Amino acid sequence: MGSILSFNCKRYSLLKSPKIIFKNTYKTLDSWSNIPEHIKAKQGRKLFLQNGHPLCSLRELLQRQFRDKSINCVAKESPVVSTITNFDSLGIPKTHVSRSKSDTYYVDKDTCLRTHTSAHQLEEFKNLAESKMSKKGFLITADVYRRDEVDASHYPIFHQMEGAYLWDRNDKAGMLRDLEQVKLDSDLQKLVIDEATLKDHNDLQDIYSLQETQIASIHLKNSLVLAIHNLVLMTPDNGLDKSQVRYRWTYDSFPFTQPSFQLEIFWKGAWLEILGSGVVRENILTQAGIQNHVGWAFGIGLERLAMILYSIPDIRLFWTTDDRFHKQFTPNEITTFQPYSKYPLCYKDISFWIDESFAANDFYELVRDVCKDLVESVDLIDQYTTKAGRTSLCYRINYRSMEKSLKNEDVDLLQVNLRKALASSLNIQLR
Q: Which is nearer to ligand PHE, 261 or 399 (CB)?
A: 261
Q: Does residue 249 touch ligand PHE according to CB under 6 A?
A: no
- 8 Å CB contact between 405 and 399: no
Q: Which is nearer to ligand PHE, 54 or 278 (CB)?
A: 278
- Please identify the residue of the shown chain whose CB is closest to the bound ligand PHE: 299
- Going through 105-256 in order, the beta strands assigned E by DSSP cover 106-108, 111-113, 137-145, 157-168, 192-194, 246-254
Instruction: Identify the residue among 53, 76, 116, 120 touching ligand PHE (CB under 6 A).
Output: 116
Cis peptide before 259 (omega within 30 of 0): yes
Stretch that binds ligand PHE, among 1-9, 94-102, 292-300, 308-316 (CB under 6 A): 292-300
Residue 373 CA to residue 41 CA, distance in Å, equals: 12
Q: Which is nearer to ligand PHE, 155 or 325 (CB)?
A: 155
Interface with ligand PHE in residues 88-107 (CB under 6 A): none
Stretch that binds ligand PHE, among 68-76, 123-131, 271-279, 308-316 (CB under 6 A): 271-279
Q: Does residue 141 touch ligand PHE according to CB under 6 A?
A: no
* Least Cβ distance, residue 157 to ligand PHE (angstroms): 14
- Going through 304-403 in order, the beta strands assigned E by DSSP cover 346-354, 375-385, 391-399
Contacts of range 194-201, beta carbons closer than 8 Å, 24 or more positions apart: 194/221, 194/248, 194/249, 195/248, 195/249, 195/250, 195/251, 196/249, 196/250, 196/251, 196/259, 196/261, 198/259, 201/251, 201/259
Q: Does residue 27 touch ligand PHE according to CB under 6 A?
A: no
What does the DSSP 8-state code read for residue 405?
A: P
* Least Cβ distance, residue 141 to ligand PHE (angstroms): 13
Q: Does residue 213 touch ligand PHE according to CB under 6 A?
A: no
The end-to-end CA distance of the chain, in Å, is 57
Residue 249 CA to residue 184 CA, distance in Å, equals: 15
Q: Which is nearer to ligand PHE, 164 or 422 (CB)?
A: 164
Q: Does residue 158 touch ligand PHE according to CB under 6 A?
A: no
DSSP characters over 161-183: EEEEEEEETT-HHHHHHHHHHTP
Q: How many residues bind ligand PHE (CB under 6 A)?
A: 11
- Order of all β-strands in the sheet with 71-76: 71-76, 137-145, 157-168, 293-301, 270-280, 257-267, 246-254, 192-194
Q: Does residue 298 touch ligand PHE according to CB under 6 A?
A: yes
Instruction: Identify the residue among 78, 85, 277, 377 touching ligand PHE (CB under 6 A).
Output: 277
Q: Which is nearer to ligand PHE, 119 or 370 (CB)?
A: 119
What does the DSSP 8-state code read for residue 383?
A: E
Residue 185 CA to residue 206 CA, distance in Å, equals: 33
Q: Does residue 155 touch ligand PHE according to CB under 6 A?
A: no
* Residue 203 burial (C-beta neighbours within 10 Å; 0-12, 13-18, 19+): exposed
Q: Does residue 254 touch ligand PHE according to CB under 6 A?
A: yes
The candidate with the shortest Cα–Cα distance to 214, out of 204, 223, 224, is 204
Interface with ligand PHE in residues 164-203 (CB under 6 A): none
Q: Does residue 278 touch ligand PHE according to CB under 6 A?
A: yes
* Least Cβ distance, residue 257 to ligand PHE (angstroms): 5
- 8 Å CB contact between 196 and 274: no
* Least Cβ distance, residue 280 to ligand PHE (angstroms): 8
By DSSP bridging, strand 246-254 and strand 192-194 are parallel
- 8 Å CB contact between 73 and 265: no
Q: Does residue 297 touch ligand PHE according to CB under 6 A?
A: yes
Stretch that binds ligand PHE, among 91-99, 178-186, 270-278, 308-316 (CB under 6 A): 270-278
Residue 27 CA to residue 111 CA, distance in Å, equals: 9
Q: Does residue 156 touch ligand PHE according to CB under 6 A?
A: no
Q: Which is nearer to ligand PHE, 54 or 163 (CB)?
A: 163
Q: Which is nearer to ligand PHE, 212 or 376 (CB)?
A: 212
To 10 degrees, the CA torsion angle through 149, 150, 155, 160? Answer: -40
Q: Which is nearer to ligand PHE, 78 or 277 (CB)?
A: 277
Q: Which is nearer to ligand PHE, 116 or 293 (CB)?
A: 116
Residue 21 CA to residue 331 CA, distance in Å, equals: 35
Q: Which is nearer to ligand PHE, 122 or 346 (CB)?
A: 122
Q: Does residue 224 touch ligand PHE according to CB under 6 A?
A: no
Stretch that binds ligand PHE, among 62-70, 192-200, 294-302, 375-383 (CB under 6 A): 294-302
Q: Does residue 257 touch ligand PHE according to CB under 6 A?
A: yes
Question: ∠ CA(181), CA(138), CA(165), 5° rounding?
Answer: 45
* Residues at the interface with ligand PHE (CB under 6 A): 116, 118, 162, 254, 257, 276-278, 297-299
